[in-house]
Amino acid sequence: MLEVMLRDESEGVDASALDAAVHALTAAASALGVGPSEVSVLLVDDDAMRSLNARWRGIDAPTDVLAFAQADEEGGQDSVLGDIVVSVGTARAQAAAMGHPFETELVVLLVHGLCHLLGFDHDEPGAADEMVGAELRALAAVGAPGEASLVARARLADGWGGA
């Protein structure tokens, strides 16, 4: 079972949404075959996310989600998967643009971050296909619509075609 340590520094998310997000992340991890492990989730505002994105990716702009995987010395997964950081402001804007509730967008972003912690990536089309599959499996397990896959949405926006 996945243990989730969640901290809301944005102070903008109600307790029921936080509980639902933790439950969804745990169910998503189970669907992806994650054994006993832990992950830290940090919810921040756009300014804090912009600082993190500039520091770790060299991009001086906020983003929706960042994932920082922790691997053991042999390169495998440790019992601590890593950290997921979500920008609440960006998540709210994306939810409005997608026409679904903020809570759904939060789950989509957490699933995306979890997939990164598990080694999935979307830089190349083949890898993106694998990540879309993982996202869709995880989202199906939590009852979120399949079209909510973050990688699939990005592929459509970028003109890559269907997921």
Predicted confidence (pLDDT) per residue in 18-55, tens digit: 999 999 999 999 999 999 999 999 999 999 999 999 99
Residue 32 lies in a domain: yes
Parallel, antiparallel or unpaired: strands 37-44 and 2-8: parallel
Residue 151 lies in a domain: yes
The total number of structural domains in the chain stands at 1
Rg of the Cα atoms in the chain: 15
Comparing 152 with 73, which gets the higher pLDDT? 152
User: Is the pLDDT assigned to residue 79 strictly greater than 60?
Assistant: yes
Residue 139 lies in a domain: yes
Residue 163 lies in a domain: no
Q: First CA to last CA across the chain, in angstroms?
A: 29
Q: Which residue's entry shows tokens 């997939």?
A: 115
Question: What's the CATH code of the domain at 33?
Answer: 3.40.390.30
Residue 67 lies in a domain: yes
Find out whether 66 and 53 touch, Cβ atoms under 8 Å: yes
Q: Which domain holds residue 13?
A: 2-158
Q: List, for residues 86-126, the tens digit of each pLDDT value.
A: 999 999 999 999 889 999 999 999 999 999 999 999 888 78
Global confidence as pTM: 0.89
